[in-house]
Amino acid sequence: MEMHKELYGKAIVPESWVFNDFRPIAIRWFKDLNGNKLLDSIESLSGQIFHTTSDNEAETTLGSPVHLRLSHGCIHLKPNDRNRLFAIGAFKRGTSFTVHQYHERYKAN
């Protein structure tokens, strides 16, 4: 109840669990060494995960600005960005993505 009050401003027991740092979904990826878009025996899932956080889910639900916090290796997403990426099929199995350098910026169409 204390954590819910801290995140959402109401001291209640939520109907569903909202405190998982990988909520509501986490996306793992792998480097496709042979280019066949399948996770083969020569490849392994990365320890990095694309995910939102409980704090960011609460901020989005409350209509507050979303503040991405430090990660120890994962790739944090804002909940609305995650939803948009799902909507355009970015997390479909077999979809490739490119990792850019820090100084490069994303430009929306």
pLDDT tens figures, 4-58: 998 888 999 988 888 887 778 899 999 989 988 889 989 999 988 999 999 999 9
| pLDDT for res 84 | 94
18 closest CA partner among 55, 46, 44, 60? 55
Residue 59 scores a pLDDT above 90? yes
| pLDDT for res 108 | 65
How do residues 75-91 score in pLDDT, each as one tens digit? 899 999 999 999 999 99
| pLDDT for res 65 | 96
How do residues 88-104 score in pLDDT, each as one tens digit? 999 988 888 887 777 88
In the structure encoding, which two tokens stand for residue 41, read together? 């025996």
| pLDDT for res 98 | 80
Give me the count of residues in the chain. 109
Question: What is this structure's pTM?
Answer: 0.77
Q: What angle do CA 55, 56, 62 make, to 5 degrees?
A: 90
Contacts of 70 (CB under 8 A, 6+ apart): none
3-state helix, strand, coil in the chain (%, to 5): 20, 15, 65
Helix axes 54-61, 79-87, angle to 10 degrees: 90
d(CA 64, CA 60): 6
How do residues 63-76 score in pLDDT, each as one tens digit? 999 999 888 888 89
